């Protein structure tokens, strides 16, 4: 997100084989800031579903380390929780610049089931569903057999999307349209036998290096058919939209001050109990 978004401020013959695998790219080198930010995410307990609750797994490495020169944010991470490698929640961990000096968690559910985040047993976030479900992609070739070829296909699919953001510098300023840039590398790749995913690739549309819109592209086989599907998700409170081959396919209205702890997109201040070892305080 480019500025503070807090409520206060603002297939026949097709051979299918699954290999359980997951990997992240653009991982930052270890440093105290990254370790601290990851630790604030690790503090949450997670639960998915109601009748037979399951736990999510926090990916051990950031999907992306980012900054945003427009808003002056110097410390930002994109992290994710997954189930059998498939993303369930994406979150941005970042610190607002002066005068706020405020650490925030900006979370987005990617699944169609209720989930629950708690901290020391206390409820923090409990969305019931994602902002948008997967949609089928048409007029694309069937997934290739080899993983490398499928990645080439996923990249080509991603380039057919565009994304934009209507950013406001303050609560009262008029929005300015930003055409977001597709990240040069996927931020996360995975397979998931449980979910029928032959190859999943997550791309980010960024402002600077700050991911504002996430695009998930999956090659899938569900036992009867094989093809491609996609999901888009906002990682900002500002209005965002996307096109496919130049035609509008998705939009989310501005969410500044309009979402709460039961919504699929939510931002909250990091609990003070997690900020004791903040390594950035020395630079304030």
Report yes or no: 200 and 218 within 8 Å, Cβ to Cβ.
yes
147 CB neighbour count, 10 Å cutoff = 16
Q: Which two tokens stand for residue 175?
A: 């929005």
164 CB neighbour count, 10 Å cutoff = 18
Higher pLDDT, 147 or 29: 147
176 CB neighbour count, 10 Å cutoff = 12
> Of 154, 162, 165, 160, which Cα lies nearest the Cα of 187?
154
How high does pLDDT run on average in the chain? 89
| Residue 119 CB-density burial (10 A; 0-12 exposed, 13-18 middle, 19+ buried) | middle
Tell me which of 92-96, 139-143, 167-171 is least confident. Answer: 167-171
pLDDT band at 282 (very low <50, low <70, confident <90, very high): low
Report yes or no: 186 and 200 within 8 Å, Cβ to Cβ.
no
Tell me which of 14-28, 209-223, 259-273 is least confident. Answer: 14-28
pLDDT (mean) for 141-152: 97
Higher pLDDT, 146 or 75: 146
Convert the pLDDT of each residue in 202-250 to its tens digit. Answer: 999 999 899 999 999 999 998 889 999 999 999 999 999 999 999 999 9
CA 12 to chain centre: 34
pLDDT band at 79 (very low <50, low <70, confident <90, very high): very high
Q: Residue 277 and residue 284: Cα distance in Å, rounded?
A: 14
Count helices and strands in the chain by DSSP H and E runs:
2, 20
φ/ψ (deg, to 5) at 155: -60, -40
pLDDT (mean) for 38-45: 97
Paired residues of 205 in beta bridges: 182, 213
The pLDDT of residue 284 is 54
pLDDT band at 280 (very low <50, low <70, confident <90, very high): confident
Residue 255 pLDDT exceeds 90: yes
Is the pTM value of this prediction over 0.85?
yes
The pLDDT of residue 22 is 57
Q: Residue 36 and residue 263: Cα distance in Å, rounded?
A: 27
């Amino acid at each position: 997100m480019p500025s503070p978004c807090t409520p206060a401020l603002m297939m026949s013959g097709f051979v299918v084989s699954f290999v359980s695998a997951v990997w992240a790219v653009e991982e930052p080198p270890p440093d105290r800031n990254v370790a601290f930010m990851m630790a604030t995410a690790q503090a949450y307990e997670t639960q998915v579903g109601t009748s037979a609750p399951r736990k999510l797994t926090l990916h051990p490495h950031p999907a992306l380390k980012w900054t945003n020169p427009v808003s002056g944010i110097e410390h930002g991470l994109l992290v994710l929780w997954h189930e059998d490698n498939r993303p369930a929640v994406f979150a941005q961990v970042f610190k607002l610049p002066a005068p706020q000096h405020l650490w925030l968690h900006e979370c987005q559910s990617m699944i169609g089931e209720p989930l629950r985040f708690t901290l020391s047993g206390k409820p923090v976030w409990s969305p019931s569903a994602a902002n948008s479900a997967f949609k089928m992609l048409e007029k694309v070739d069937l997934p290739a057999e080899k993983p490398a070829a499928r990645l080439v296909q996923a990249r080509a699919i991603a380039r057919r999307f565009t994304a934009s953001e209507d950013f406001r510098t303050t609560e009262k300023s008029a929005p300015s349209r930003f055409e977001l840039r597709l990240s040069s590398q996927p931020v996360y790749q995975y397979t998931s036998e449980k979910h029928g995913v032959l190859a999943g690739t997550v791309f980010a549309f960024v402002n600077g290096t700050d991911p504002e819109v996430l695009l998930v592209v999956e090659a899938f086989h569900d036992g009867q058919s094989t093809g491609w599907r996609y999901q888009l998700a906002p990682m900002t409170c500002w209005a965002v939209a996307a096109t496919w081959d130049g035609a509008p396919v998705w939009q989310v209205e501005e969410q500044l001050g309009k979402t709460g702890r039961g919504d699929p997109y939510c931002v909250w201040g990091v609990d003070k109990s997690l900020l004791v070892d903040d390594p950035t305080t020395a630079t304030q």
